[in-house]
Amino acid sequence: MAHVLIVEARFYAHLNDLLLAGTRAAIEAAGHSHETVTVPGALEIPAAVALASESDRFDAYVGLGVVIRGETYHFEIVAGESARGLMALAMDGLAIGNGILTVENEAQALERADPARKDKGGEAAKAALAMLALRERWG
């Protein structure tokens, strides 16, 4: 049984509740356990994963958050750098699922976050578990 850390940026609580529901359901359906930690924003998700990875308590990680485009360039920075940070950790051998939604508006976020629709939280959990299986296979 794997133990998965869910790291969430809870800027949009109602959307994160949906992402979390899908993530937890996927992890539990696969027979694994999980913990959740909250960070201030999407940019802090990779740092929290990196810190947690030093503890050897977790087998896989899922980053969750919602970044909605605004009127400034900040959206591009947050979207790109959070994804880059998670990818760098994955390239170092961590099993990570990226469930950080980067969308134009709340309607797009709702469609993607809802477990009854696109279930991107559940997909991120499944991706983390798939990468964990590959690491175990080749490790």
Rounded to whole angstroms, how far apart are CA atoms 43 and 111? 23
Q: Which of 14, 32, 34, 74 is catalytic?
A: 74
Sheet order of strands, 96-103 included: 33-39, 3-9, 60-68, 96-103
Q: Is the pLDDT of residue 3 over 90?
A: yes
Asked if residue 103 is part of any domain, the answer here is: yes
The pLDDT mean for the chain works out to: 97
| Structural domains in the chain (count) | 1
74 is catalytic: yes
Asked if residue 41 is part of any domain, the answer here is: no
- Among 18, 7, 71, smallest CA distance to 41 is for 7
- Chain Cα centroid distance, residue 126: 11
Say if residue 112 carries a ligand binding annotation.
yes
Asked if residue 133 is part of any domain, the answer here is: yes
Range of the domain at 101: 59-139
pLDDT at residue number 8: 98
Asked if residue 65 is part of any domain, the answer here is: yes
Asked if residue 44 is part of any domain, the answer here is: no
This prediction has a pTM of: 0.97
Asked if residue 109 is part of any domain, the answer here is: yes
pLDDT at residue number 55: 96
Rounded to whole angstroms, how far apart are CA atoms 40 and 22? 21
49-92 residue pLDDT tens: 999 999 999 999 999 999 999 888 889 999 999 999 999 999 99
Say if residue 77 carries a ligand binding annotation.
no
Say if residue 129 carries a ligand binding annotation.
no
**Residue percentage of the chain with pLDDT more than 70:** 100
Asked if residue 102 is part of any domain, the answer here is: yes
Average pLDDT over residues 99-105: 97
27 pLDDT band, cuts 50/70/90, is very high
Asked if residue 76 is part of any domain, the answer here is: yes
Residue 69 is part of a domain; what is its CATH number? 3.40.50.960
Q: Is the pLDDT of residue 37 over 90?
A: yes
